[in-house]
Structure 1
């Protein structure tokens, strides 16, 4: 009897991959078919870096046997990025430990899987930035006796020569980003262990940076050619023996500890160190006790992602980077070929030698350079808002053909005016911050400063109109009553003040007398009234001190010749636009009085250059208008229902984050320009105010009750916004001090960062040092969202000129385009790309810049 073969209904593995691929496509991911063994794509895959595959393509690909599923990273998949842990995931546990310490809860949000080789993948999306290409983050070196090929973890490597031997460089952790892909479950051999690829977490750039820095923290190897102080940068006429001897014998641990660095013990094969001013977390690694690798951006004099020999550490910490002077000092301590005899043979010289930490005071130019490095301009961090709110304000700006950058500060003013004194931020029992904002939009005439502001204020104006109509109708009825009928009745309640367009204290008092919330917003087409309005009663003295009290939320009493005016519980917001020249004259008047008394420091400045924004038929949609109006309406209604002020409190983790950030910033003040350092104390308060109003906007948008606690994450959003405004303040104050003659700032926005990314990719396509403007436009539009498209070459040229890039005066043939204007690839282009690179790096490292322990880490590289 012949037996039939056993048949099962189990689907083949590729059917599982087909189902997963279709689901991933639905989730906004670009998928690829690959070989499981070689991981090579089974189709030309470059098109799928720009567009997802269609359903028909996916069904065709994954019906073939033995087809593995891969996900394409980068923009096409919603800014997908993956961290790949090789060598069976040896560094995964150490990395996870760092992440859990630096940002509790972040690790648990990631999508994690085990790869077929036993490694690990950690995946996420980061929509708030441009995902870079693949990057190696953590390395290990294995020394070999010769150059014979070796096998490690199933892979074969050819050693390369290193000094007197050979070594193999192994990657422990690397990214898969723009232009990369990776195999994933349910491909056989891949196992999902946490999360779901179709529900990827969306991380902020700060959270992503924590993951990246944690990976760099466990790296075990840096190439000698990349280590500062191993012979490079030393003057030719300086004997190198002292530095080399210190590299061999000097104890860099004692040196670091003497400059307030803290040892944090071992993590994996590395010693971990924490920079001065931090209480938790790590800032650098010491590899093999000899190579100091810094990954913090706020660890001056060290640059981020740089490695230093002991000699370089000594030179930077004790001699301001002057290698010649450092070598002489070490020679005097007995290192190298000292003139007084043979060098010593112990480390006691390092331990006992007096190490001077004093240095000459910084020059004014150096102080300004430091301020610009610490607080650089970067694009407004729209991710502080719910996505619908950010989209609403950005579309409003497009509909008015203007920049969206000033609108958030105006939004803060309006929401704060709506809630008034009914919402306060309690940093601790003895310190409360009111929600009061003064927003100053510094731009040229014709830049479109006021139309968006008045569009945003329509709900406020509607309520004001409704209130006046109510009063008018009630007053008509009152006037018709006889004197007898009026007895025992109260006259109509005067109209409630929602907004004003003037700034006299008498007017503020009249509007806010008996006001239920004390909240009012003053909308100014010309912000110079904030200063000129303070001098309306010169015979009775200036009103400036009273306005400063109002900004601080304190009561004020103004004594006039005829009467005294007392204002208490006022929450007066001020916002408006001003031209750079007028700003310089008005706010810089009276011999700098408005700097000395702190008026300037109380403003949230946005200062942008003249730039082209294309006017189109786009309007502020009803849905986007309603998103914003609903927030304002709910804010007014919420405040009117509150019997007493609602206090937002800081739980311990928020307090720790805030105090660490404040203390880290405060130690910078002696080295900053004296006028600018005045912004810092106000920034400390503004960070709490910003956190409170951003927290409120999120709750009001959702229609939910405002939570009573400001979480650690919410506090981080306030600090991020505060740093944005500090970056703007550097240029605003420079304009003020230079009487309007300071160089105009470069626009830094999402569109200029995108332009820089496009130009960087086009660098290899220059034609006789030129790029056709039409060619740039086409490349830009391929990368941009439909809303961001530049519709004509003429508009593209306007944007390039606004970025101070040079366009040919005549027409040329370039990039396949006939007789067209071209971008000249010159030093201006290189400078623009570098400016945008540093700005983007700043955004990407905001996680180390005021958040927890890495809050202040900005890019300080040259």
Structure 2
């Protein structure tokens, strides 16, 4: 064991002892060896009596050492081959060859350890890369309790790393170091043949490992829906349409993202400013979302982002309304269908005197034309235009607080919400001129519910009033009263 411990030490590793109680933990005080290596004499003292457990501290203290571990369950489920296929599929067959023949070992539980150094010593802490939900036959007593009380199914790790400050038991440790008494065994290489890879190549390995994750993804962040009347009435908002029609290439590539490689329905991406490696993935079995793994971009990491949310973050700093406006101008989204409107009778003009037969003489007006610009751009101006044009077929009854409209045969009450009167008001608003920006703004307001309501409110004082529901006979404005609204 002393010879093996010195081999690890001479290969530049921070070597410590492993406890002999089956916990696989470091023995004694070891935290200082996360920052500095023990002296060679100290290692000799520790292992001269044949101590059965050799441990190595990963990270900068061991020259940027990192260990990628496939748990025994991952090995038995065929994930070694799957990992290799992902790495080679990314165009890095040579990388797999180097790490697979550099230094690998097996653990007593059937796991596989792949050790390598990262050039420059840029090694993160211990990181879980792939997990899956625990199967029923794997549940412990505590797991059953958690599932019963909180409805949470425990996870089982498939692939993870030991990095900065982490600790790993290495071959040929054996005996009481592991609960089974079995040994860690070298598969390929020696401590002296541990390969060095670049940070980008390390990212490729991590991305390939993450691709083997089997946990259900977190639910996507709900997309913001800017205030959009078309959407409320049944139209399709621009963001929703963009999610369906846009491609990730058109969203990401203008901002410096590049496709690293594709595998199945997944596309792996390299972030801006990075020559190689994998920073994010789109697509896959869980929906067409973007998952960013790195925190070195302006996008949130480790969450599901839709195309619409990603576009808004990259192009409009998260201003959803501004993003929706631009997309709408680009042709995304569909307007709401026109609401069902009351069927208006032809717009008649009522003469001041009845015909010889005692009925009202009717003369149909010409089609709507643009409202003259001589009216003030105000609610009162709109009301004047309404009464001047349609006053012959509209009346307001103060006693009832209701409008009446002429059907071409008789006067009927408008619905309580305005009904026909509101439709006439909208005709006025639609015919308003658009001579300049002020006129356009006035027209836009007039077309809205607030504008048409204000027009009708002002029009009450401009309309020739009808008094009560029982008009006198033989007047030009004969009202046939009914208790029903039409």
Normalised by the length of structure 2, the TM-score is: 0.49
Higher percent of residues as helix: 1
Q: Which has the larger radius of gyration?
A: 2
